[in-house]
A and B are shown apart, each in its own frame.
Chain A
Amino acid sequence: MSILTDVWRWFANLDHWSGSDGIPVRLQEHLHLSIESVLIGALIALPIGIALGHFGRFGNLAINISNVGRALPSFAILVIAFQIFGLGDLPIVIALVALAIPPMVTNTYVAMREVDPDVRDAARGMGYRQLAQLLRIELPLAVPLIMAGIRLSAVQVVATATLGALIAGGGFGRYIIDGLAQQDYTKLVAGALLVAALAFSTEISLSMLERILVPRGIRLLKQGASAGQGNPSHARSI
């Protein structure tokens, strides 16, 4: 119990809410690293997944990317990136981008593949050209699964950004790594709670965004048919 009281006092101490090692600065660092990495990852992964899914070729490639991604420990990617690029945010962002890409590619690929072939035929029959069919028919239908992939990636990136502290990065991981090094269990547990809270809020806020972004017609469709859980790669690697 005493640890919990200590942690409570740690959070109540105003010193921990200001300065370069304060919670607001660490939060900002953590978010900055994570958002940057997820955005770069999405810019790379979504076009690949959309193209692979739309043309329906190289499906094995999309699945294999995800398998290799799951097997590669993110801790190893982080340390290798550090050995190549040295100190700074760059190796952390590179490792996080590498981590963010596989779930997004796989989910996007599956999302595009799961578009009903009849719907594709209907679009073609109505005279939609390739690009219009992709942008106005397939993509909106694929949004729920694509968003699920982005959410999965984002939660993992937020979790792994914590490890950035091992290679002298900022973020909430500092409290955990420093707490361990200084045997300061209060700081350690406070950092753990902050990381857990941030991962949880990421999950919640992206689920809400997902709900907003899904077109209304598809939501109605889902309710009516109570579509099965299409969550192909819900596995963590951190």
Chain B
Amino acid sequence: MAYHVFLAYIDPWINWDWLSTHIPLVVAALEQHLELTAIAVGGGLAISLPLALIAHRRPRFRLPLLTTAGIFYTIPSIALFALLIPYTGLTGTTAEIPLIGYNVLILVRNILVGLDAVPPEVRDAADGMGYRPTARLLRIELPLALPSIFAGLRVATVSTIGIITITAVIGLGGLGQLIYKGLIENFHTPLVVATVLSVVLAFVADIGLAGAQRIAVPWARAESR
């Protein structure tokens, strides 16, 4: 009898009963996680693309841009969230500004590396074929930079998925909410479920982007054969 009472107080790592009755909670957390990730990566790409193109055209913007982004990147996310709270409160804006900023650095750097790696002969050939600079950039150089851009997108997405869990301390968090719940209620199940789901999510996103890259860069496949 005493043994059973004792057992009841040991929290198993997964309590399937709790899980089966709380599926909507888990799904909602997952949805929020996906939404926050999509905004952070999409916003980062939308901002970094024009910035990188400008820095590519005008090399004197390059160093200031990379230095500013590099300094921003050194600041821990939790510190940035805390700095923003007095101004933007416990909102999605507070969560997204640092995340978008981090992704801008990763992506600007990778886009520039990709554009720099375009062989000069290719550029000359495009010029010789009568491409104007803008058309050459959009139709020749940018497609050739795609592998590097995709590499940046994969790193940005996977690290965003991890950092979002921390936004639980400002009332968001996606799956981080469940981790936080596990912490304050001393209850293992949501913690384990959220950890497993966020690792799975990161891998699925990574594999998905790798697949998208294969479709977007068909010539790379032909070369590797």
Contacts and interface: CB of A to CB of B under 8 A. Distances in A.
A238 B182 CA distance: 20
A162 B79 contact: yes
B147 to A, nearest CB: 16
Contact of A199 (B79, B165, B186, B192): B79
Chain A: interface secondary structure? helix
Interface stretch (A112-120, A134-142, A190-198): A190-198
Contacts of A238: 76-78, 162-163, 166
B19 to A, nearest CB: 17
A74 B162 contact: yes
The 8 closest A-B pairs by CB, nearest first: A159-B76, A71-B202, A192-B82, A76-B195, A73-B165, A192-B79, A195-B79, A73-B162
Nearest to B194: A76
Interface stretch (B54-62, B131-139, B153-161): B153-161
| Interface bracket on A | 35 or more
A195 B74 CA distance: 11
B26 interface: no
Interface in A58-86: 67-68, 70-76, 79-80, 82-83
B176 A75 contact: yes
A191 B79 CA distance: 8
Q: For B73, B77, B86, which residue has the most chain A Cβ atoms within 10 angstroms? A: B86
A94 B158 CA distance: 23
A82 B180 CA distance: 12
A162 B83 CA distance: 14
Nearest to A188: B82
Contact of B83 (A189, A236, A237): A189
Contacts of A163: 78, 166
Nearest to B167: A75
A203 B82 CA distance: 21
Interface stretch (A37-45, A123-131, A171-179): A171-179
A237 B161 CA distance: 9
A167 B183 contact: yes
Given A189-B83, A199-B79, A76 B191 contact: yes
Interface in B165-213: 165-166, 168-170, 176, 179-180, 182-183, 186, 188, 191-192, 194-195, 198-199, 202-203, 206
